[in-house]
Amino acid sequence: MHTESEAILDLSSIAEQTTEGERIFVAAVNASGRQCDTENVQVQRGRFMRIRFEAIGCLLLLCVCRTADPAEPNRPSALIGYNEHRTNLPGGRLPNVSTNRAMLVKGDGSERRLLATDLADESGAWTQFAGWSPDGKTAIIGRGWESVENAKWEEEHKTFRFTPEGWRYDTYLVDVTTGRAENVTAVERVSFYNSGLFFWPSDPKKLGFTALIGGNSQPFSMDRDGRNKVDLTKNSSGFAYGFSSSRDGSRISYHENYQVYLADSDGSHRVHVQTGLPFNFAPAWSPDGQWVLFVSGEHYNCHPHIVRADGTGLKKLADRAGYRGVTEFLDVPDFHGGSSDTPVWSADGAAVFYTAKVGNNVELFRVTLTGTSEQLTQSAEVTLHYHPKPSPDGNWIVYGSKRNGIRNLFLMRLKDRSEHRLTDLPFGHAAMHAHWQPAALTE
């Protein structure tokens, strides 16, 4: 199993390697999403081209003979942050994942644009959309870098090697209107690899994140300006991540060595959730703070479970029917095995959305807390859905879907299950990891 930050670990430069004769169009768009210039570049097999982005006042949008559809009525107007990357470039993970860029698009399909392009300011650097501030004005953007030498070693040994010389990952807060970026994890730095940042619920002046220290991942809290970083598991030597806070900010959860723990916000009064199973992953608090959702079972054979906030009342909600819980995000061999596809709470906390296997498909489901499950999608053969996220008002859900070999984002209106395409990428490209802007939505 892999967290979202693990899934796009090495997304860097804009160098692209293509098959002979493939034509790559690099469109420059301004902040309103209108095209202002297009450069047509042809490259040959086995060659890498680094494209300089020098269009003043423009954001750059990678596309292949595609234009955004006009805005559709009766769809939400809030922004959705997500990521786009290449999937089929030869050479393993790095040549593909290094093309990842943080994106924004409105729920009606308009105003698709790149965000924080200046953070990918060197070869081997990438950006990743990772979340929002509670007021929807600030985006959480990961900025990473990996050396070519380290990536080569990882491919040869089929495992990650995190060192300060070979890796850097920091998390920025980016104003979506002005583009101003703050590297809060670099202030009073505790690690070269800092991910999983979130705004602490009920306290806009506090943040949570996860830092890699001495080979162990550890959850931290810090002030909004990046100061006063506090290790919340300083007495533990385990590998802890999947860190989140309850909505009132009083409790935290995380998994350590694939066991789920609950604690007070300062890390005290830690409770081990006893499942009797070896693999427990990705705990998430219900909106009312009364329950914690996670997957439990064997690695690659785990299912949605809930437990009360005090660690009691463990209950299995649904079975994923043989689905491994991992969606492949590349079309070339990937030694890491893909991106975790974990269940999420509905906006009102009365149900859980998850994905499960149905024949040769992976379909989208909703299950109540009493265990009543319903299938939301009925898809064409070999369709694979992934990463569902409900809108803040509970009327819509955005999710990824691999159809005819292409990974795009789709919206569903839950009251009538009508589906709308959000992105329209061509073969060899992918859209993933959608995050709704926390703002009022239109019906």
| pLDDT for position 277 | 97
Q: What is the DSSP letter of 119?
A: G
Q: Which domains does the chain have, with CATH numbers?
A: 4-436 (2.120.10.30)
Euclidean distance between CA atoms 182 and 137, whole angstroms: 14
Beta strands in 156-228 (DSSP E): 167-175, 181-183, 194-199, 206-213, 216-223
Residue 19 clears pLDDT 70, i.e. is over it: no
Euclidean distance between CA atoms 419 and 409, whole angstroms: 11
Residue-level length of the chain: 443
Q: Are 372 and 417 in contact (CB under 8 A)?
A: no
Q: Look at the block and give the residue holding tokens 């570049």.
A: 41
| pLDDT for position 237 | 72
- How far out from the chain centre does Cα 131 lie? 8
Q: Which two tokens stand for residue 216?
A: 């162990």
Choose the weakest-confidence range: 72-81, 93-102, 419-428: 72-81
Beta strands in 224-372 (DSSP E): 230-231, 240-245, 251-256, 259-264, 271-272, 279-285, 291-298, 301-308, 315-316, 326-327, 339-340, 344-345, 351-358, 361-368
Long-range pairs, 221-227, Cβ under 8 A, ≥24: 221/265, 222/184, 224/184, 225/184, 225/187, 226/182, 226/183, 226/184, 226/185, 226/186, 226/187, 226/188, 227/187, 227/188
pLDDT tens sequence across 176-235: 999 999 999 999 999 999 999 999 988 889 999 999 998 889 999 999 999 999 999 877
Euclidean distance between CA atoms 387 and 341, whole angstroms: 6
| pLDDT for position 5 | 44
Following DSSP, what letter does each residue of 110-138 receive, concatenated? ---EE--GGG--STTEEEEEEEE-TTSSE
Task: For residue 372, give the nearest of 324, 294, 317, 310 by alpha carbon.
Answer: 317
Choose the weakest-confidence range: 90-99, 160-169, 363-372: 90-99
Q: Are 24 and 64 in contact (CB under 8 A)?
A: yes
| pLDDT for position 46 | 33
pTM for this model (two decimals): 0.84
Euclidean distance between CA atoms 384 and 363, whole angstroms: 7
The alpha carbon dihedral of 7, 199, 344, 436 has a sign of negative
Residue 73 clears pLDDT 60, i.e. is over it: yes
pLDDT tens sequence across 344-366: 999 999 999 999 999 999 999 99
Euclidean distance between CA atoms 111 and 29, whole angstroms: 10
Phi, psi of 422, deg, nearest 5? -100, -40
Euclidean distance between CA atoms 156 and 150, whole angstroms: 10
Q: What percent of the chain has pLDDT over 70?
A: 82
Half-sphere exposure of 328 (CA within 13 A, CB side): 15
- How far out from the chain centre does Cα 434 lie? 7
Euclidean distance between CA atoms 296 and 258, whole angstroms: 9
Q: Please, what is the average pLDDT of the chain?
A: 84
Distances (CA, A) of 403 to 70, 384, 410, 427: 22, 7, 11, 10
Q: Which two tokens stand for residue 328?
A: 């492949």
Average pLDDT (367-376) is 97
User: To 5 degrees, how large is the angle CA 432–CA 433–CA 434?
Assistant: 100
pLDDT tens sequence across 40-71: 333 333 333 333 333 323 333 444 435 345 56
Neighbours of 135 (CB within 10 A): 11
Neighbours of 203 (CB within 10 A): 16
| pLDDT for position 97 | 85
Residue 389 clears pLDDT 90, i.e. is over it: yes
| pLDDT for position 71 | 67
DSSP helix/strand/coil, 323: coil
User: To 5 degrees, how large is the angle CA 99–CA 363–CA 372?
Assistant: 135
